[in-house]
């Protein structure tokens, strides 16, 4: 018990005295997972919307692929990325192994199916008659997608947050492709693991506390959105 209180106290001191290592790791984590979520949105939302709103050959197959991807074990994502980017791999010449970029790619692989899948479910929930209404207002193809995405914006936002929550707390894939290099590819999760290995429990607890704070913040926002009554600013989009 003693060690936990000691650790938490130490953690709070580290966080509020602006310990450089802690903040470097925090910012790298946000940069990596933030850009991963951004690219996952670019990929996941259009795929989810298109697959959800259109009829096309292999639709069921593609939806099954997305759903499988939603449950893709992060370690599998890490392994897939490694096979491509290690030096002897197809993209080895890019020298992406053990870089933040590699971590972003692995996280995109984890998060984009989650975002696509939830978006897909969300747009399928939309009354198909609403699509007819948009068309009859004179909308072209892109206007239709845009308006229906806006209509599904709350679940889509939830999808993005779920994706973010999924990758920021993930450790297996990032340690595989990032290598957990201090000051370069060490993020909150891998830092916590490393600190435990090195016996630095106060640092480990500090990282875990920050991680918990972030995931709590994300989930809190998510809950607010799901209970969406009273969030005026979202309605105004």
Partner 1 sequence: MNKFRFLSVTSILILSTFIITTSVFAFSCKDKVKNTEIILATTTSTYDSGLLDELIPVFEEETTYKVKPIAVGTGEAIAMGERGEADVILVHSREEEDRFVEEGYGTERRDVMHNGFVIIGPEDDPSAISGLTAVEAYITISANEALFVSRGDDSGTNKKEIAIWEETGTTPQGDWYIESGQGMGETLRIADEKQAYTMTDRGTYLAQQNNLSLIVLVEGDEILFNPYRVIPVNPEKHKDIDINYEGAQAFVEFITGEKGQAIIKEFGVAEYGKPLFYPDVIK
Partner 2 sequence: MDKKILEISDLKKKYNSKFCLDVNNLYAEKGKILTLIGPNGSGKSTLIRLINLLERPDEGKIYFNGHEITNGEVSQTEVRKKMAVVFQEPLLFNTSVYANIIMGLKIRKIKLSGVKDRIDYFTGKLKITDLLNRSTKNLSGGEKQRVSLARALVLDPELLLLDEPLANIDQSSRESLRADLFGVLRGYGKSVVYVTHDRNEAMVLADDIAVMDRGKILQFAGKEEIFRKPAGEFIARFVGVETLVDGVILEREGNVCKVGVTARKSNIEVSVVSQERRGTRVTLAIRPEDVILYSTEISSEESSAMNLFKGKITEIRDIGIFKRIEIDCGFPLSSFVTQNSVNRLKLALGKEITAAVKASSIHMFKR
Site of interaction with partner 1 (CB under 8 A): 35, 39, 42-43, 46-47, 50-51, 54-57, 86-88, 92-101, 104-105, 108, 141, 179-182, 184, 194, 196-199, 201
Considering the rule CB under 8 A, would residue 230 count as an interface residue with partner 2? no
Which of 90, 130, 198, 213 is in the footprint of partner 2 by CB under 8 A? Answer: 130
Phi, psi dihedral angles at 72 (to 5 degrees): -60, 120
CA distances from 63 to 37, 58, 94, 105 (A): 21, 9, 32, 22
Which position among 135, 181, 198, 213 is part of the footprint of partner 2 (CB under 8 A)?
135
Please report whether residue 231 would count as binding partner 2 according to CB under 8 A: no
**Beta strands in 30-164, from DSSP E residues, in sequence order:** none
Least distance between partner 1 and beta carbon 215 (Å): 24
Identify the residue among 17, 18, 88, 138 touching partner 2 (CB under 8 A).
138
- E-only strand ranges, the chain: none
94 contacts 177 by C-beta, under 8 angstroms? no
Q: Does 55 bind partner 2 (CB under 8 A)?
A: no
Identity of the residue, 55 or 236, whose beta carbon is nearer to partner 2 in the bound complex: 236
Residue 201 binds which entry of partner 1, partner 2, none, CB below 5-8 Å type-dependent: partner 1
| Interaction partner, residue 143 (partner 2, partner 1, none; CB < 5-8 Å by kind) | partner 2
Task: Supply the DSSP symbol for 140.
Answer: -
At closest approach, how far in Å is the CB of 123 from partner 1? 14
- Best CA proximity match to 134, nearest among 144, 142, 149: 144
Q: Is the dihedral of CA 20, 189, 197, 178 positive or negative?
A: negative
Q: For residue 183, is it left (φ>0), alpha (ψ between -120 and 50) or beta?
A: left
How distant, in Å, are the alpha carbons of 29, 86, 102, 197 from that of 92? 24, 5, 11, 30
Choice from 2, 20, 61, 127 touching partner 2 (CB under 8 A):
127
Segment (H or E) for 176: helix 172-178
Closest separation between CB of residue 221 and partner 1, Å? Answer: 25
Pick from 140, 199, 227, 233 the residue near partner 2 by CB under 8 A: 140
Which partner, partner 2, partner 1, none, binds residue 140 by CB below 5 to 8 Å per kind?
partner 2
CB of 129 to partner 2, least distance (A): 6
- Is the separation of the CB atoms in 9 and 1 below 8 Å? no
Question: Both tokens of residue 131?
Answer: 């699509």
Binding of partner 2 at residue 227 (CB under 8 A)? no
Q: Under the rule (CB under 8 A), what is the footprint of partner 2?
A: 127, 129-130, 132-140, 143, 147, 150-151, 235-237
């Amino acid at each position: 018990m003693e060690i936990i209180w000691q650790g938490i106290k130490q953690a709070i001191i580290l966080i509020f005295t602006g310990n450089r290592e802690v903040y470097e790791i925090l910012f790298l984590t946000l940069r990596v997972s933030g850009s991963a979520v951004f690219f996952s949105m670019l990929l996941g939302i259009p795929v989810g919307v298109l697959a959800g709103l259109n009829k096309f050959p292999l639709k069921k197959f593609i939806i099954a692929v997305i759903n499988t991807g939603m449950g893709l074990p992060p370690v599998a994502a890490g392994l897939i990325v490694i096979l491509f980017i290690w030096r002897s791999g197809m993209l080895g010449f890019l020298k992406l192994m053990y870089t933040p970029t590699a971590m972003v790619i692995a996280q995109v692989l984890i998060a984009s199916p989650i975002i696509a899948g939830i978006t897909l479910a969300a747009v399928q929930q939309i009354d198909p008659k609403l699509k007819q209404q948009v068309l009859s207002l004179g909308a072209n193809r892109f206007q239709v997608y845009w308006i229906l995405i806006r209509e599904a914006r709350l679940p889509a936002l939830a999808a993005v947050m779920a994706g973010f929550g999924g990758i920021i707390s993930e450790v297996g894939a990032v340690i595989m492709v990032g290598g957990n290099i201090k000051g370069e590819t060490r993020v909150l999760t891998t830092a916590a693991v490393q600190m435990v290995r090195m016996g630095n429990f106060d640092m480990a607890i500090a990282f875990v506390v920050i991680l918990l704070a972030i995931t709590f913040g994300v989930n809190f926002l998510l809950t607010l959105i799901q209970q969406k009554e009273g969030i005026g600013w979202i309605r105004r989009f």
